Each structure stands twice: as structure tokens, then as C-alpha cells.
Amino acid sequence: MAFWEMIFYWVALVAYALSAGGCIYSFVFKNPKAMNKITMLVAAGFLGHTGSIAARFVATGHLPWSGHYEYALMGGWFIIAGTLFVGWQNKLLQGLTVATTPLVVIMMGYGYMQNPALTPMAASLKTIWLYIHVYFAWISFGAYSLAMAAGVVFLLKQKSEALPVPNPAYDRFPSLGRLDELIFRYVVFGFITDTIMISAGAIWAKDLWGSYWAWDPVETWSLISWLTYGITIHLRVTFGWREKRLAWLAIAALSSVIICFFGVNLVVNTSLHVFQVR
């Protein structure tokens, strides 16, 4: 890990951790006024996060695409970027940080415990298909994370509205009907970009390994994740699964993505997707 990369990394991690704690404080102590300051803190952490990626790029000559540390670094960046973007479009969605920032803190902490050493890019990664494949992978991860966050907020807001005196902190969120619609939209957007990711990966695999599909563990879990979200969309469109059931599905389905990115290579070291130079 480069010197400035480490500085920016810890700035981002501390800012995200403080903002996650601030979100929890805002809801537990019913203080909705704190949300604007929390959003500014997340934005400050995002700048540090961007600086960390830039510093690593300068040190290695390539964007961080491989290894658990780099997965966490780039994946967290896309999740926070998506959170800030939707919050900028609609201030009622700024509170999605209550679910996305804890996720990113855990991801970045886990990544740091792995191998953050500076490594050269493997020859197999030097292709335009890498950027297409990985770019859409991170976009889909970000969209699925937003769907999870909207699901968490939906369940919390629904529980609050059932109380005799609802928590005023949830007044800063859209209505339950709007949150339900957003969960579905984020899932659909993630599913489309996920489809592009898998297609681009298959084309890349043909050039790299001689076949479009090899049933590699990471490939298999990416297919499981894709099918999981496809089933989620099917249940919503065909069987009318909405609100609470859809929220729980969006939360549970994210686990398949996390396993694909981080879990498979913990238990299987024969994956073709292990590109990091050791």
C-alpha cells in the first residue's frame, strides 16, 4: 500500500464509520436534523476514498481490479457513489447511508485484512474486456446495495409507522409505496448491468481460456446471483410480491453477490478468477 493511499484510505474509513454511527444515532434518538451533516461527512469520506484509488493508480499504473483488497476498495467506491448520487437527486434518499455505509466499512476493513500490497497487473487482465466486465460488475453491485438499503429503510419505516408515535426521523424518507418502487427499480437496473457483466465476461473468457463458460466457482456463483435477482423480478411482476416480502428479498439476495465477490476464494483457491500476483 502506497503512503498517500494509506492516508486517504484511513480518512475515508474513519469518515464512513463516523457517518454510520451518526445515522444510527439519528434514528435511535429521533434526531432527523443530523442527516445533512452526515451526508457531508460521507461526501468527505468519498473524496478520501477517491484519493486512495488515485494514489494506488499512480503507484501501480493500473486501476485496482484484482484481489480482495482491491475488490473492497472499488466496490465500496461504487456503493458510496451511488448513495451520494441518489441522495443528490432526492434529499429524501440521503438516509440510505444508514445501510450502505456500514456495509462499506465492513468491506474495507475486510479488504485491509487481506493483501493490500502493491502488485503489477497480470498479463491476462490487459484487455478492454476487463474494463467492460468489471465496470458493469461494480455498477450492478452498487445497484443491488441500494436495493438492499431501500429494503432496510422500508422495513424500519413500516415498523415505525405501526407505533402509536412514529419516529420523526423516518419523515425524511419517501413514502412506503415509493420505497417499494425504488427497491424494484434498483433490482431491475442491477439485473440489466449484471447481465452485461456476465456477457462481457463470457466473451473475455473465450479469448482467455478458449471457452465462453467453464463452470468456474466464481462464474457459478455469479450465475446463482443473477438467477436470484431474476427470480426476485419474476416474483414481483408475475406474483405481485411487494413491500415487506420484496424488501426482505432485496436484503437476502445481496448475500449471493457478496459470496461471489469475497466468499468463493476464501474456501476455493482453484478459481480461474484469482488474478492477483503473489
Residues 103-147: tens digit of each pLDDT? 999 988 888 887 777 776 666 667 787 888 888 989 999 999 999
pLDDT score at 275: 46
Cβ atoms of 27 and 157 within 8 Å: the answer is: no
CB atoms within 10 A of CB 3: 9
Percent of the chain with pLDDT over 90: 36
pTM for this prediction: 0.88
Q: Which residue has the higher pLDDT, 17 or 221?
A: 17
Q: Distances from the Cα of 188 to the Cαs of 21, 61, 246, in angstroms?
A: 30, 35, 13
* Helices within 120-175 (DSSP H only): 128-161
Short-list 3, 46, 16, CA closest to 109 = 16
